[in-house]
Amino acid sequence: MPILETIGLEKRFGGILAAANVNLSVKKGARHALIGPNGAGKTTVINLLTGVLRPTAGRIMLEGRDITDAAPHERVRLGMARTFQINQLFLDLTPLESIGLVVSERLGTGADWWRVVGSKPAVTDEIVEVVERFRLTDVMHERTAILPYGKQRLLEIALAFACRPRVLLLDEPAAGVPEAERHELLATIEALPAEVTVLLIEHDMDLVFSFADRISVLVNGALFVDGAPEDVARDPRVKAVYLGEELDA
């Protein structure tokens, strides 16, 4: 059974069909890449999966459970978290506070109004683990707004990771990161625990082919090719798309 599955997923924005009958199937523990040209509907699929958008048709199954109607925060509790293509961070908080917030929330103390943040050892231990894993130790007390872009991008992933998802959705994590900060970012992505299933959207084909064990190609909102990296790489239609040629799909 796939850990994450969509059945006939569809999203219309007025006249635009941003997702058309998408049947995506992600295996447990997979390193699954979702690729496709700009405007293909990749972010829309992530938004549908996480509940930011409601599909106009179709179902979403997480670990065999229908989550189509679940609220975004419920999906996080059910084990799926995401990052955003454009940073969505808490600019006025420090990385420490932001991660502390996520960890408190996950450990069920998020609605706790009487205790001070950080008074629970279980929370602080986990904060430390996340801060170190994402190499944020030396900036953890800075306001998020003034962090270098690469660090913000790491924090973007750290917040999703701190939810301890079983399925992690990464929407172009390396987008816009300058070359010199890129290595650090990619290293943390590669070092994500094997038991976490990762669905990665990325434009950098080197990264996609070194990372993914399965690739789905989305074009004009529809799944176009779906298979092992070698097969996708050889597929003439994919080559055509990436060379910007005309399609008759």
Partner 1 sequence: MVTTSATAPLTPVLADDVAAYLKRRSRWSPLEVVFWIFAFASIWLFPDKYLILKDTAILALFALSLDLILGYAGIISLGQAAFFGIAGYFSGLVAKYGLINEPVIALVCSGVVAAALGFVTSFLVLRGSDLTRLMVTLGVSLMLGEVANRYASITGGADGLQGVDIAPVLGRWSFDLYGHNGYVYCLIVLFVCFVIARRIVYSPFGLSLRSLKGNALRAAAIGIPVKWRLVAIYTVSAGFAGIAGALLTQTTAFCSLDVFSLERSADLLLVLIIGGTGYLYGGLIGAVIYKFLQDWIATLTPQYWQFWIGLVLVVIVLVGRERVEGWIAAARGSVARLGDRLWTRIRPRSAALGGAADGD
Ligand X SMILES: Nc1ncnc2c1ncn2[C@@H]1O[C@H](COP(=O)(O)OP(=O)(O)O)[C@@H](O)[C@H]1O
Contact between residue 103 and residue 162 where contact means Cβ atoms under 8 Å apart: yes
Query: Choosing among Mg ion, partner 1, ligand X, none, which partner's interface includes residue 82 (Cβ < 5 to 8 Å by kind)?
Result: partner 1
Residue listed under structure tokens 């069920």: 108
Q: Does 40 bind ligand X (CB under 6 A)?
A: yes
Query: Choosing among ligand X, Mg ion, partner 1, none, which partner's interface includes residue 137 (Cβ < 5 to 8 Å by kind)?
Result: partner 1
| Residue number, 5 or 171, with CB nearest to Mg ion | 171
Among the listed ranges 39-47, 90-98, 188-196, 236-244, the one in contact with ligand X (CB under 6 A) is: 39-47
Q: Footprint of ligand X on residues 207-226 (CB under 6 A)? A: none
CB of 156 to partner 1, least distance (A): 9
Residue listed under structure tokens 């939810």: 163
Among the listed ranges 42-50, 125-133, 134-142, 231-239, the one in contact with ligand X (CB under 6 A) is: 42-50
Query: Choosing among ligand X, Mg ion, partner 1, none, which partner's interface includes residue 16 (Cβ < 5 to 8 Å by kind)?
Result: ligand X
CB of 136 to ligand X, least distance (A): 27
Q: Does 38 bind ligand X (CB under 6 A)?
A: yes
| Residue number, 28 or 203, with CB nearest to ligand X | 203
| Residue number, 32 or 133, with CB nearest to partner 1 | 133
| Residue number, 71 or 205, with CB nearest to partner 1 | 71
| Residue number, 15 or 178, with CB nearest to partner 1 | 178
| Residue number, 43 or 94, with CB nearest to Mg ion | 43
DSSP the chain: --SEEEEEEEEEETTEEEEEEE--EE-TT-EEEEE-STTSSHHHHHHHHHTSS--SEEEEEETTEE-TT--HHHHHHTTEEE--SS----TTS-HHHHHHHHHHHHTT-TT--SSPTT--HHHHHHHHHHHHHTT-GGGTTS-GGGS-HHHHHHHHHHHHHTT--SEEEEESTTTT--HHHHHHHHHHHHTS-TTSEEEEE-S-HHHHHHH-SEEEEEETTEEEEEE-HHHHHH-HHHHHHHTT-----
Q: Does 41 bind ligand X (CB under 6 A)?
A: yes
Q: Does 133 bind ligand X (CB under 6 A)?
A: no
CA distance 120 to 111: 14
Q: What is the dihedral of CA 233, 235, 236, 242, to 10 degrees?
A: -50
CB of 170 to Mg ion, least distance (A): 12
Tell me the sheet residues that pair with 65.
Answer: 62
> Which of 9, 24, 35, 44 touches ligand X by CB under 6 A?
44
**Site of interaction with ligand X (CB under 6 A):** 13, 16, 18, 36, 38-44
